Structure 1
Amino acid sequence: MSTLTHMSAIFAIVLYAVATALLLRRPGTLGGSPGQVSTRGNEFAPSSPPHRWLGRVPFKLGLAWLGLVLHGAALIGLMITPAGVDLGFFSTATLVSLMIVLLFLLAAIDKPVDKLGVAVLPLAAMTLILRLTFPEEVHTLTDPSPGMEAHILVSILAFSLLNIAALQALLLAFQDWQLHRKRTNWFLRSLPSLQTMESLLFQMIGIGFLLLSVSLATGFLFIQDLFAQHLVHKTVLSILSWLVFGVLLAGRWRFGWRGRTAIRWTLGGFVMLTLAYFGSKLVLEIILERT
């Protein structure tokens, strides 16, 4: 690992940490004003419009964007090896966290998802720390076809977006729990209304489900045997996760599922997907030390 790669990773970690701290500060300490209580039920609406243009990105998210650039620079140095692209456990986790941060920041341009940064940014910093702390054996694909590369890319995008959806579901669960107990604080007042939060959640799930469908389709097309011994658990769990998200979207459309039902199904589907994507890599590469 070069010094430039190491320093890029360190500065990215620091920028993510500072941006997270700024997201957690009370609005009043930054010169802003807290959100106002909505007159419709026990919901809260932010006091200022969530939409913003690229030229007016808040300072805290600007730091996150800079951290993302350094994260990407570090990742190039960490993953590009003489033997090929390293797809080991920690390298892949770092790549996925980069995509999660990118999707989060793109969504934050015109959607009120800023508070997701308090989970997304520390997660990215943690994957970088783990990659720097635990050097691992390089794991590369042998002569991957364009179809295989497309499958990997779409799979990472699907997992990243559904990861953000899971974090959104957790934030929604916290908001619902606080409102049912009639508790208020500055953090809760800074969130959009429950209706807006749920709408954002299902938008993420809808796009993530589409990407996951493409991922499964390309897997069946370009991988010789998806039900081989070393892939069967990954395939089965991915299909089960796809079914869970599909049922959730159908339930939303047909029966109007929302609230805690949506939260439980979202988290259940994401847990299955996490086990599919990283469970086997953790067992094989870290515990059993196999390629």
Structure 2
Amino acid sequence: MQALPLAIMALILYLGAASWQGLTLLRRVPQRPVLVRALGLLGLLFHLPVALKLIDQSPGLLPGLSTSAVFLTAIMVLLLLAVSLAKPVLNVAIGLFPLSGLALLLAVGVPSPERTGGMTPGIALHAISSALAFAVMAIAAFQAVLLGLQNQALRHHHTRGVVQVLPPLTTMERVLFELIWAGMILLTLSIVSGFIFVESMFAQHLAHKTILALAAWVIFAILLISHHILGWRGMRAVRWTLGGYSVLLLAYFGSKFVLEVILQRT
């Protein structure tokens, strides 16, 4: 399989979908959600074979930095396309699709080590729940960015342009917290399954990842509890969402970057 042509085609399709949705927000073109989803789905069809090949070549439990990025962005695109059928989250594609295409293109030129072993069912549960949790929280983070832009525009009485195209503020906030709840369920499953099924965490450089994942869980838990009890919303919800996701991003990719890029270890 020639990975580079597939990656290029995926990037082109992702950019096409993101560009149309971006122009929709700017009110330069009419809304065409079916077109955006179709282009995104075609991009994903080119994305998935490369992601599966990289995962197949990964050495056991800890795939490399580029492989993790390709796999997780594929999950994120798939979830976004599915969720957008029921929730108004398709604007997230403006940031997510180009990011996914670039991650795929960059990963093609990175050599992958030979696979050394398979996964047990427990490890597979941990890996899948971790990937899904990260993907859902990534969509929530993009949603928070759009909500923040909407809040700022309304605060400064800018009621035209992007604000007119986005769903109502209450809908944007409701979708954000629904995404965070879903992500928290998956993140909880990921953490619990990790404690049960993953052995030798220190030897596998997983201790700091677990600590950061727990810290992210606490941040999102505080946000959800405070939203329910104290009515947290608006920019406070945006900041806490982005803060929690930043910690989660460090948990998933920070250690890989240090080990593989700075320390040159695999």
- The amino acid that maps onto 1:187 is V
Name the structure where helix makes up a greater proportion of residues: 2
Deviation at residue 127 of structure 1 after TM alignment? 0.5
The answer to whether 1:6 aligns with 2:4 is: yes
Structure 1 CA distance for aligned equivalents of residues 247 and 16 of structure 2 = 32
Aligned to 1:112: 88
Cα distance, 1:118 vs structure 2: 0.3
Contact kept in structure 1, 2:188 and 2:217, CA below 8 Å: yes
Counterpart of 2:76?
100
Distance 2:204 2:118 in 1: 21
Residue equivalent to 1:206: 181
CA contact (8 A) 1:234 1:277 kept: yes
Query: What is aligned with 1:79?
Result: 55
The TM-score with structure 1 as length reference comes to: 0.84
Provide the rounded CA distance (Å) in 2 between the counterparts of 1:274 and 1:158.
Answer: 11
% identical aligned pairs: 37
Does 1:16 find its partner at 2:14? yes
* Higher-Rg member (1/2): 1
- Taking structure 1 as reference, are residues 196 and 142 closer, same or farther at Cα in structure 2, changes over 3 Å only? same
Q: CA deviation at 1:17?
A: 0.7
> Alpha-carbon deviation of 1:257?
1.0
The one of 275, 279, 284 equivalent to 2:254 is 279
Structure-2 residue corresponding to 1:183: 158
Q: Mind listing any 5+ residue stretches in structure 1 that lack a counterpart? A: 33-55
Alignment of 1:214-225 (within 5 A): 214-225=189-200
Between the two proteins, the alignment pairs up a number of residues equal to 265
Relative to 1, partners in 2 of residues 1:144 and 1:80: Cα closer, same or farther, differing over 3 Å?
A: closer
Local SS of the residue matching 1:109: coil
Aligned match of 2:122: 147
State how far apart, in whole Å, the 2-side matches of 1:127 and 1:178 are: 31
Asked if the contact 2:57–2:114 (Cα under 8 Å) also holds between the matched residues in 1, the reply is no
* Two-structure CA RMSD over aligned residues (Å): 2.2
The amino acid that maps onto 2:132 is: L
Q: Structure 2: which 5+ runs fail to align?
A: none
Normalising by structure 2, report the TM-score: 0.92
Q: Distance in 2 between matches of 1:223 and 1:141?
A: 17
1:241 aligns with 2:245: no
C-alpha deviation, 1:31, in angstroms:
4.7
Does the 8 A contact of 2:14 with 2:101 survive in 1? yes
- What is the CA distance between 1:231 and its match in structure 2? 2.1
Once the two structures are superposed, residues 45-81 of structure 1 have per-residue CA deviations (whole angstroms, 9 ceiling, x without a partner) of xxxxxxxxxxx96112211111111111222233323
Deviations 1:150-201 (A, max 9, x none): 1011001001100111111111111101111112333221101111000000
Match of 1:53? none
Shift of the alpha carbon at 1:8? 1.7
Note if 1:231 corresponds to 2:206: yes
Taking a change above 3 Å as real, the CA distance of residues 125 and 165 of structure 1, as seen in their structure-2 partners, is same
Distance 1:31 1:144, change over 3 A: closer
CA distance in 2, matches of 1:124, 1:151: 23
Give distance in 2, aligned partners of 1:255 and 1:188.
Answer: 27
Letter in 2 for 1:230: H
Name 1:132's counterpart in structure 2: 108
Cα distance in 2 for partners of 1:241, 1:86 equals 20
Name the CA distance, whole Å, in 1 between partners of 2:154 and 2:246: 26
